[in-house]
């Protein structure tokens, strides 16, 4: 680094009050040994998940609220900020601390730069594959959705990018929202002979036949291995059923045990599950199923620095979760001797785009994909005075922006926005482009809704979502965050039983009355009726609002009063 650049960084860090010292600053632009990860053993898995179609480097702020209760209390993945750093021995102010936590987010983002980007990820994948002959690249899904170009190309941009990246095995979730026919077309044509699309838990509703291959058997450096696929079990509930009307989903624990036993009987010495269950579900599954060496997990977007060992009747299963938005690449090495695993190493590598050279052929592909849309994507709709982000159990500033836009444009007193965990972050002062708006809203069912809802119905909606998030049994958790709420205030007791978590609902200074009706705006409805109504997409509503404001002041986050969080390390 040049002296001038260094002084510049120092000034940025000082002005923003970042807890960075000169050692961190010096390390900020030099790769040093950051990506030196010596090969260990003879079986190697590279794992990416939940990139949500982010082909370009982005900012992504990790949550400061990720509550766990019961068996999940104060354990990964329900640790935020300092608690996460302490658990995994990461130093505050370091590059890793920036990758894994929300701490000093804006200041650190200015120093360490953007994360992810397929051209930079490609360089890292190539480097890891070069040092680990035979290594396989596994994609945990939520890959073909989450950006404007993915939506506009019906997922084709991501399919092409994944083929270029050299994905070997994949499973899925949001992919299904492109519709069953489109998924099958990609699997049968684009991926044929190149990428194994695996899911042991997707069956036809009529004869219960498997829709996809349940697993793939390979040999790596002389060791027979198996990768079993587990798609998101709640796809037809969390997303519209009409996209996959003839397929049924589920955790299907017993089927999984049969598949594990089958691949073991065929000689597999290392068996891993490529999972889109979400980490809490994976941790429970690992305690109940025998014969898995690791579960490489996604869906809940938890960037967990370590592999969590879980004991079960067959031994120990490692459980990992590799974050989201192209921010991380997990590297799992096993040393197999005489047919048995003797040891392992796991590292979740953050993808820092200014430390990894851009891979030229991937860069060219991305440029080609974006060229016809570049002007439209880059148009600045407004400027933001404050940081915009989404992640967190209850609200994020970009969600608040969407709620404010919905209430203003639709003249509604209350608004709901889904608790999606995808969506990139913006730093204060940045222009909000059309691409940024699409990063938060691009789904195949982003219709807006305006309805008259009774106070009782509003409570039912909040109770249902709260149960998806806080049901004490992880098998009933669907892995999203709490629905974001505009206008309405409420209190939530995560430890309450189903139907009894929400209280103190108010609109302004008036309590919500069960029998009274309220005008409620929302988006992303799952019903067929809402689809057939063909209402305005939410990105148009947000765009209208942004253009009318031009400058977006800091949003006041509407947060519920949250009970029983004393001592909870999932809250900063």
- Residues near Zn ion (CB under 5 A) are 142, 173, 299
Cβ atoms of 420 and 483 closer than 8 Å: no
In the complex, minimum distance from the CB of residue 78 to Zn ion, in angstroms, rounded to a whole number:
18
In the complex with Zn ion, the residue whose CB is nearer, 231 or 256, is 231
Nearer to Zn ion, 173 or 203 (CB): 173
Report the Cα 268 to chain-centroid distance in Å: 30
β-partners of residue 310 are 317
CB of 572 to Zn ion, least distance (A): 24
What is the β-pairing status of strands 169-170 and 196-197? parallel
Least CB distance to Zn ion at residue 276 (A): 6
The residue among 299 and 434 lying less far from Zn ion, judged by its C-beta, is: 299
Smallest gap from residue 418 Cβ to Zn ion (A): 12
**How far is C-alpha 233 from the geometric centre of its chain's CA atoms?**
16
- Residue 452 in contact with residue 411, Cβ under 8 Å? no
CB of 173 vs Zn ion, minimal distance in Å: 4
Ordered strands of the 448-454 beta sheet: 448-454, 517-523, 414-417, 484-486
Query: Of 44 and 299, which CB lies nearer to Zn ion in the complex structure?
Result: 299
Give backbone dihedrals phi and psi of 542, rounded to 5 degrees, phi first. -65, -40
Neighbours of 416 (CB within 10 A): 27
Smallest separation (angstroms) from Zn ion to the CB of 171: 10
CA count, 13 A, side-chain hemisphere, 473: 4
Which residue number, 173 or 434, has a Cβ lying nearer to Zn ion? Answer: 173
C-beta closer to Zn ion: residue 44 or 284: 284
Residue with smaller CB distance to Zn ion, 141 or 522: 141
CA 133 vs. chain centroid, Å, equals 29
Q: Could you tell me the smallest distance in angstroms from the CB atom of residue 284 to Zn ion?
A: 17
What's the CA gap between 439 and 420, in Å, rounded? 11
CA dihedral 526, 532, 538, 541 (to 10 degrees): -150
Residue 479 DSSP code: S
Please report how close the Cβ of residue 139 comes to Zn ion at its closest, in angstroms: 12
User: Whose CA is closest to 198, among 254, 276, 262?
Assistant: 276
CA separation, residue 194 to residues 51, 165, 391, 502 (Å): 20, 11, 34, 49
User: DSSP assignment, residue 382?
Assistant: E
Q: Shortest distance, CB of residue 421 to Zn ion, whole angstroms?
A: 8
Considering the complex, state which of residue 302 and residue 543 has its C-beta at the smaller distance from Zn ion: 302
Nearer to Zn ion, 252 or 299 (CB): 299
Q: Nearest to residue 525, comparing CAs of 483, 477, 478, 471?
A: 483
Token digits of residue 359: 């891979």
Whole-Å CA distances, 381 to 55, 131, 445, 543:
21, 45, 23, 7
């Amino acid at each position: 680094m040049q002296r001038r650049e260094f002084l510049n960084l120092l000034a940025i860090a000082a002005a923003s009050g970042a807890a960075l010292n000169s050692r961190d600053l010096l390390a900020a632009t030099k790769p040093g040994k950051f990506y030196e990860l010596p090969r260990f053993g003879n079986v190697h898995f590279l794992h990416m998940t939940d990139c949500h179609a982010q082909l370009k480097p982005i900012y992504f702020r990790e949550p400061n609220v990720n509550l766990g209760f019961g068996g999940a209390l104060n354990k990964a993945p329900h640790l935020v900020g300092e608690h996460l750093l302490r658990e995994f021995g990461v130093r505050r102010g370091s590059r890793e601390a920036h990758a894994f936590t929300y701490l000093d987010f804006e200041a650190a983002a200015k120093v360490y730069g953007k994360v992810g980007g397929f051209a930079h990820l490609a360089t890292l994948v190539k480097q890891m594959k070069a040092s680990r002959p035979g290594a396989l690249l596994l994609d945990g899904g939520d890959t073909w959705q989450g950006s404007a170009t993915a939506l506009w190309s019906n997922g084709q941009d991501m399919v092409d990018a994944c083929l270029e990246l050299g994905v070997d095995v994949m499973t899925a979730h949001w992919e299904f929202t492109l519709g069953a026919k489109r998924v099958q077309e990609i699997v049968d044509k684009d991926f044929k002979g190149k990428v194994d699309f695996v899911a042991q838990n997707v069956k036809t509703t009529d004869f219960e036949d498997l829709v996809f291959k349940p697993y793939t058997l390979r040999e790596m450096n002389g060791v027979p291995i198996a990768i079993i696929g587990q798609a998101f079990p709640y796809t037809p509930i969390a997303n519209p059923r009409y996209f996959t009307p003839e397929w049924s989903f589920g955790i299907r624990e017993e089927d999984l045990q049969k598949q594990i036993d089958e691949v073991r009987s065929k000689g597999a010495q290392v068996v891993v599950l490529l999972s889109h269950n979400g980490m809490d579900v994976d941790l429970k599954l690992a305690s109940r199923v025998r014969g898995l060496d690791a579960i490489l997990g996604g869906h809940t977007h938890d960037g967990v620095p370590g592999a969590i060992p879980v004991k079960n009747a067959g031994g120990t299963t490692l459980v990992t979760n590799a974050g989201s938005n192209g921010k991380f690449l997990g590297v799992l090495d096993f040393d197999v001797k005489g047919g048995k695993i003797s040891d392992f190493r796991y590292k979740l590598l953050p993808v820092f785009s200014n430390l990894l050279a851009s891979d030229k052929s991937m860069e060219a592909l991305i440029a080609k994909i974006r060229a016809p849309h570049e002007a439209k994507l880059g148009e600045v709709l407004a400027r933001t005075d404050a940081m915009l982000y989404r992640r967190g159990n209850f609200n994020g500033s970009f969600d608040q922006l969407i709620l404010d836009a919905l209430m203003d444009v639709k003249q509604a007193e209350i608004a709901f926005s889904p608790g999606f965990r995808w969506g990139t972050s913006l730093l204060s002062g940045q222009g909000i482009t059309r691409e940024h708006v699409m990063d938060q809203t691009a789904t195949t069912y982003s219709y807006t809704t305006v309805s008259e809802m009774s106070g009782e119905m509003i409570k039912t909606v909040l109770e249902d979502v709260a149960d998806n998030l806080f049901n004490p049994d992880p098998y009933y958790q669907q892995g999203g965050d709490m629905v974001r709420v505009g206008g309405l205030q409420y209190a939530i007791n995560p430890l309450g039983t189903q139907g009894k978590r929400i209280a103190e609902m108010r609109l302004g200074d008036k309590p919500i009355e069960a029998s009274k009706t309220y005008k409620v705006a929302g988006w992303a409805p799952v019903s067929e009726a809402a689809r057939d109504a063909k209402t305005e997409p939410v990105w148009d509503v947000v765009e209208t609002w942004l253009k009318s404001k031009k400058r977006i002041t800091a949003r006041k986050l509407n947060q519920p009063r949250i009970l029983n969080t004393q001592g909870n390390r999932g809250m900063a």
